[in-house]
A = this chain, B = another copy of it.
Amino acid sequence: MTQRESIVRESFSRQGFMKTLGAEISVLDHGQVEIRVGYRPTLTQQNGFIHAGVLTSILDSACGYAAMSVGPEKHDVLSVEFKVNLLAPAKGERFVARAAVKRAGKNLTVCTADAFAIQNGQEKVVATMLATMMNISPKH
């Protein structure tokens, strides 16, 4: 585990909300991050599908850590903004958000991410995000 990777995993472990969702980082590469959650009745909207807010949460975290994985050392990352399109009902056993860096700048990093529902071993895209992240220099 590289130093960068351990910083990302340590940051993720401090996110109380990711624990509440039961979310886990399943891939952590340079510029690419994957976060997974399993279906739980506590994460649903009114029709029993996974709530758009849950998908957005893992898409956002995946984008943030993808940005952090290519950003300056020891910088934190904040979400400036994101847009999400919901593409299909989030119906499945597990859900995965896959983020990739589109362009990394000195201060701002633009990421794209897709969320997939997994059912009977089949993946189906259910949401997509386009996000802007900001590098925050460490406090001294």
Contacts and interface: CB of A to CB of B under 8 A. Distances in A.
Interface residues on A, range: 35 or more
A96 interface: no
B46 A20 contact: no
A108 to B, nearest CB: 6
B108 A125 contact: no
B103 A88 contact: yes
A41 interface: yes
Given A17-B54, A20-B43, A112-B128, 20 more contacts: A11-B46, A14-B47, A15-B44, A17-B45, A19-B42, A52-B57, A52-B82, A53-B56, A80-B85, A80-B132, A81-B84, A81-B110, A82-B83, A83-B84, A85-B110, A88-B103, A108-B134, A128-B130, A130-B130, A132-B132
